[in-house]
Amino acid sequence: MRAFTYERASSVEAAANAASSNRQSKFIAGGTNLLDLMKLEIETPTHLIDVNGLGLDTIEPTAEGGLRIGALVRNTDLAAHETVRRDYGLLSRALVAGASGQLRNVATTAGNLLQRTRCPYFYDTNQPCNKRQPGSGCSAIGGFSRQHAVVGVSDACIATHPSDMAIAMRALDAVVETVKPDGSHHAIPIADFHRLPGETPHIETVLEQGELITAVVLPPPVGGRQIYRKVRDRASYAFAIVSVGAVIQLDGTGRVAVGGVAHKPWRVEGADAELSRGARSAASALFADARPTEQNRFKIDLVERTLGAVIAEARG
């Protein structure tokens, strides 16, 4: 790990300011992704701004009937929160499908959204990777790509976003609240928060340098059967090959977001509209523009079948 200076931020504004004055600084929350990558020198910040003491760790109802989740709320506390498990079961389920008990005790709402890809070439500093080293090439294209993205890909990168929580947030139409270094407040719909790789796969979200996430807001509950189904190589403690997060209403309508298939949580309006016609119709809409590799083509069928199982479970 490279040496770095360290400060405990005293306020949201001070944190954002400190981060904008040093472009090589990073916020640290739980540290479970950042420190992992710093040990491998994939991330090399020269300054860390600890945001754990900012009091952003509460869950409060909003005036609109939704829920404001502080950026520093731990994954365990969010999954166990009474309102979340009752009204946003999809979110609880997605959270407990991810990582381990030890990691969830530390991992935060903001850090989870911002965790980086698990593409093995991104982790292997001896291999070209456009995300780690812009312009160096993509080792996954033409390499081992079984776990990579099948839709929204580019010629520069076919990595997936690994978060389970983000799939639930996408299906529930969460909004990410931020503060920029100039003190201005912003609300970013989760649909616009993560970017597709395009020609700049190293830029993963719309956040600016120094922009601090303060909370994630959920709209009022939408009811329905809320199901998160994760398919992985082991029964527990493994990242998704694919995952399906869905809210299905009694009349068969609903919404669906899919993980393990794209650079961001994958949701397509047209697929929501097809849900009541069944998994095949919805999956065709989800993957209309898919560009799988020979090795990951199976994900398209796997999502269709997983969605089929989810719909069957919702009908109970």
Ligand X SMILES: Cc1cc2nc3c(=O)[nH]c(=O)nc-3n(C[C@H](O)[C@H](O)[C@H](O)COP(=O)(O)OP(=O)(O)OC[C@H]3O[C@@H](n4cnc5c(N)ncnc54)[C@H](O)[C@@H]3O)c2cc1C
Residues that bind another protein (CB under 8 A): 1, 3-6, 8, 28, 30-32, 35-36, 39, 48, 50, 52, 76, 79-80, 85-86, 89, 92-93, 96-97, 99-103, 105-106, 236-237
Paired sense of beta strands 47-50 and 25-28, if any: parallel
Choose among ligand SF4, another protein, ligand X, none what residue 86 binds, the Cβ cut-off being 5 to 8 Å by kind.
Answer: another protein
Cα–Cα distance for residue pair 88/81, rounded to 1 Å: 10
In angstroms, give the least distance from the CB of 294 to ligand SF4. 15
Residue 26 or 148: the one with the smaller Cβ distance to ligand SF4 is 148
- State the CB neighbour count (10 A cutoff) for residue 19: 24
Closest to ligand SF4 by CB, 31 or 128: 128
The whole-angstrom separation of Cα 45 and Cα 4 is 7
Q: How far is CA 211 from CA 23, 25, 117, 187, 208, in A?
A: 11, 12, 21, 12, 5
Interatomic CA distance for residues 141 and 264, integer angstroms: 18
Q: x-or-dash pattern for ligand X, window 102-141, by CB under 6 A?
A: -x--xxx-xxx-xx--------------------------
Cα distance between residue 51 and residue 265, in whole Å: 26
| Binding flag, residue 228, ligand X (CB under 6 A) | no
For residue 44, the minimal CB distance to another protein (Å) is 12
88 lines the binding site for ligand X (CB under 6 A): no
Backbone CA torsion sign across 281, 307, 95, 153: negative
Residues that bind ligand SF4 (CB under 6 A): 117, 119, 121-122, 129-131, 138-140, 148, 157-159, 201
